[in-house]
Amino acid sequence: MGVLTGRTALVTGASRGIGRGIAERLGRDGARVAVHYGRSEAAAKETVAAIEEAGGSAFAIGAELGRPGDAEALWAEFDRHADGLDILVNNAGIGSARPIKEITEEEYDQVFAVNVKAPFFLVQHGIRRLRDGGRIINISSGLARTALMPDNIAYAMTKGALDVFSRDLSKVLGPRGITVNSVAPGIIDTDNTAPMLHGTEGGWARAAAFSALGGVGSPAEVADVVAFLASDAGRWVTGSWVDATGGSLP
C-alpha cells in the first residue's frame, strides 16, 4: 500500500517534463492521478500508460489553459472520471525568455493568463471538490527570488504572484486542514531546457555551475519534494516556499 493509496490527485501540465515526473511519482505512491494536458493528448496518454505499467491508476483530461472558461472546462472533464480531489498540483506554465524591450503585450498577457490566472480559478472552482485535509502544491521557480536570468522577467513575475497566492491561500484553507505550498525548481533537464543544456557547447556545465551541488536537476528530484508535501509527512508544512533549486540561489 502506497502512502497516497485511496487519494486522487490532479497534476496540470503532466504530459511531459516536471509535470510528468510528478504525476508518475504520485502514481507510484498510490494516488489515482488525473493527467492534464493542454494540446498533446498523445503525450498525456504516454504518461498515463507509464503510471499504469508501474501498477498505478491514471486518466487523461484535456483543457487548454489561458483561455476564457478554461477552469470550468478542466473540471468538467475531471468530473467525468472522479467525484472528489485530495491533491492539486498547479504545474502547467509557459515562459518567455524575451527581454523587456522585446516582449509584446499579447505575450505578457498570455504568460500571466496561464501561470497566474489559471491556477487561481482552478482553485476557485475546485474548492468544493477538494476534500478536507487535502493538498495544493504550486510549482514556482527559483527565478522568483533571484535575477540570475533577467530576460525571463515576465515569467519570473508570474511565479512571484503564484507564491503570494500560495501564502495567502494557506490561511484561507487552513481551517479545513488543507495545506498550500510553493515548490521552486531551478534548472531542470527537460525538453524546455534542452536547447540551453544540450544545444550549445558548454551549456550543461554553465547550468551546473549555478548549483551548490554542481549539477542539473531532474524532474524526479522535484517530484520527490512534491511527494513529501502531498503525503501525511508534510501535514505541518503550509504557506511555505520550498527551494528545490539544488542551492542555485545567491
Amino acid at 222: V
Q: Could you give the C-alpha distances from 132 to 84, 86, 205, 235, in angstroms and in order?
A: 11, 8, 45, 12
Measured CA to CA, the distance from residue 8 to residue 53 in angstroms comes to 18
| Choice among 37, 78, 155, 165 that is catalytic | 155
User: Does residue 48 contact residue 64 with C-beta atoms inside 8 Å?
Assistant: no
User: Closest by alpha carbon to 61, among 44, 42, 46, 47?
Assistant: 44
User: Closest by alpha carbon to 243, among 187, 184, 188, 189?
Assistant: 184
Element housing 244 (H / E): strand 241-244
User: Does residue 70 contact residue 126 with C-beta atoms inside 8 Å?
Assistant: no
Calculate helix-pair angle for 153-173, 105-112, nearest 10 degrees. Answer: 30
Measured CA to CA, the distance from residue 169 to residue 180 in angstroms comes to 7
CA angle 216, 220, 221 (to 5 degrees): 55
155 noted as active-site residue: yes
Quick one: cell of 182? Answer: 510553493
Active site residues: 155
